[in-house]
Structure 1
Amino acid sequence: MKTKVEERFSEFFENWMCQLHEYLQHLQRASEDYRAKIGCEHEQELQASVSKVTQHYKDYYTIKWALAHEDVLAFFCPIWISPLENAYSWVTGWKPSAVLKLVNSIRINGILSSSLVELTQEQMRKIEALRVKIRLEEERVEREIERQHVTGWKPSAVLKLVSSIKMNGVFSSSLVELTQEHMRKIEALRVKIRLEEEKVRREMERQQSGCS
């Protein structure tokens, strides 16, 4: 059974993807026209297409952020994406560097009909600078997660707290009113996080054994 937030975002996401497909097709045509014949008119059309796509992504995160305030758990176990996409989830979404790896793979393998094959050296330089910046941010987040593990705090601790509050009926807490569907999702998330914690623990033990 879907929660209200899941229903609303699923419907939004479906429409958003359809609109994105249209915008990207228009952007590709504008890009091809610009490469075929450079001119002020074509450049303005290309800039307008880029602005539409950029704004479309901004709208996505604006809606996602607003609905996450209503039901954040829906975004930890999203039902509107495929199991493969879920497998690559990282902090309620795609790991940012994954898309840059895809760009690099498409360019290196020379996939036909892809404009990525024709990227200039300047464009590649900017992509590389962005990749380095994103990777540094990912490493910062990963170090913080590792630090929390080392100091004894684990992500699963917050879920234990949620369960404790609900069981003890802490006054004035909205957690007491969680539905069975919410609790099912919390349990699924708890199991997922617990498996990740075990994976991290085993990796740390392996590294310690290698150093000794």
Structure 2
Amino acid sequence: MRGQVQDKFSEFYEQWVNQHEVNLKELLSVPRDPSSSSNEQLHRALVSKVVIHYKQYYTVKWASAKDDVLGFFSPTWFSSLENAYHWITGWKPSMLFRLITSLRQTRVPGANLVDMTEEQLEKIQELLIQIRIEEDRVDREMERQQVSIADKPMVDLSRLATQVNNGEVVGELDKYVDVTLSSLLAGLENVMKMADCVRLMALKGVLEVLNPLQSVDFLAAIAMLQIQLRVVGKRRDHAKMMTLNQKD
């Protein structure tokens, strides 16, 4: 059952995606002459606008997670396909580096990532190593949170839960439940924020290596991938729902 927090965030996310599509159109339509200083200023301004848009998403996400962090581990605003490719409530940071490799290999005309210098490639490789280390750290923390379900407080809670009298809880069980679950949820919220910080670190790191026009092409590729994955995922979910309704 969806709660108020999920409904509110789902509404925000739809609006966020709509703006994401507007940003994509702007990224794809920029003048491409890198030698023009006015063009470079335009590229920098658009990259900044897109980055601010991403940061807005995480600002709202973190504020909402304070009231319902579990909603972000089983989100209703993503399609099933999007959820299948997510890593701890969002896209996996190292995906950005695979995307760079793919863009360079496709050699699409106008895609300036084809022309990355050796120095840029070396910096990207160094950043990838750093991001993978951070991903591993988040994975270990997530594993620690998952196994903590068997820690002593939860075992004690399980024992206390058997102490009922005529269907009513005995003693301070309700208060103990709240304290124990609050600790677990705080741990999950921390892991989610850790993962989001690595996502932002990867995005910021890549953009610092690329020049303004390369950054425009890179952000456009990310947006296209995210939007198309959502379109295909929602289409599949809708088709599945229609099939189930027909069977009923």
Give the deviation of 1:37 after TM superposition: 5.3
What is the match of residue 170 of structure 1? 174
TM-score (norm 2): 0.56
3-state SS, counterpart of residue 9 of structure 1: helix
3-state SS, counterpart of residue 36 of structure 1: coil
Whole-angstrom CA distance in 1 between matches of 2:42 and 2:140: 43
Give the deviation of 1:155 after TM superposition: 4.8
Structure 1 residues 115 and 105: CA distance shift in structure 2, 3 A: same
Structure 1 residues 145 and 53: CA distance shift in structure 2, 3 A: closer
Equivalent runs, 1:95-174 vs 2, <5 Å = 95-110=92-107, 112=108, 115=111, 117-121=113-117, 122-144=119-141, 148=144, 154-157=147-150, 161=154, 164=157, 169-171=173-175
Are the aligned partners of 1:13 and 1:80 in contact in 2 as well (CA < 8 Å)? yes
Query: What are the ranges of 5 or more consecutive residues in structure 1 without an aligned counterpart?
Result: 177-212
What is the match of residue 13 of structure 1? 13
After superposition, the C-alpha distances for 1:178-201 in whole angstroms (9 at most, x for unaligned) are xxxxxxxxxxxxxxxxxxxxxxxx
Structure 1 residues 37 and 93: CA distance shift in structure 2, 3 A: closer
Equivalent runs, 1:82-93 vs 2, <5 Å = 82-93=79-90
Give the deviation of 1:42 after TM superposition: 1.1
Whole-angstrom CA distance in 2 between matches of 1:75 and 1:124: 34
After superposition, the C-alpha distances for 1:76-122 in whole angstroms (9 at most, x for unaligned) are 01111121221223222222112322332232233x46726534124
What is the match of residue 3 of structure 2? 3
The runs of at least 4 consecutive aligned structure 1 residues that moved more than 6 Å come to none
Task: Provide the alpha-carbon RMSD of the alignment.
Answer: 3.3
What is the match of residue 191 of structure 1? none
After superposition, the C-alpha distances for 1:166-187 in whole angstroms (9 at most, x for unaligned) are 95542386589xxxxxxxxxxx
Are the aligned partners of 2:105 and 2:114 in contact in 1 as well (CA < 8 Å)? no
Structure 1 range deviating more: 1-10 or 37-46: 37-46
Structure 1 residues 3 and 114: CA distance shift in structure 2, 3 A: farther
Equivalent runs, 1:200-211 vs 2, <5 Å = none
Structure 1 range deviating more: 100-109 or 13-22: 100-109
Whole-angstrom CA distance in 2 between matches of 1:156 and 1:97: 29
Structure 1 residues 28 and 43: CA distance shift in structure 2, 3 A: same
2:23 matched to 1:26?
no
3-state SS, counterpart of residue 128 of structure 1: helix
Are the aligned partners of 1:89 and 1:95 in contact in 2 as well (CA < 8 Å)? yes
3-state SS, counterpart of residue 91 of structure 1: coil
Structure 1 range deviating more: 97-106 or 13-22: 97-106
Whole-angstrom CA distance in 1 between matches of 2:4 and 2:112: 39
What is the match of residue 74 of structure 2? 77
Structure 1 residues 144 and 77: CA distance shift in structure 2, 3 A: closer
Structure 1 residues 7 and 114: CA distance shift in structure 2, 3 A: farther
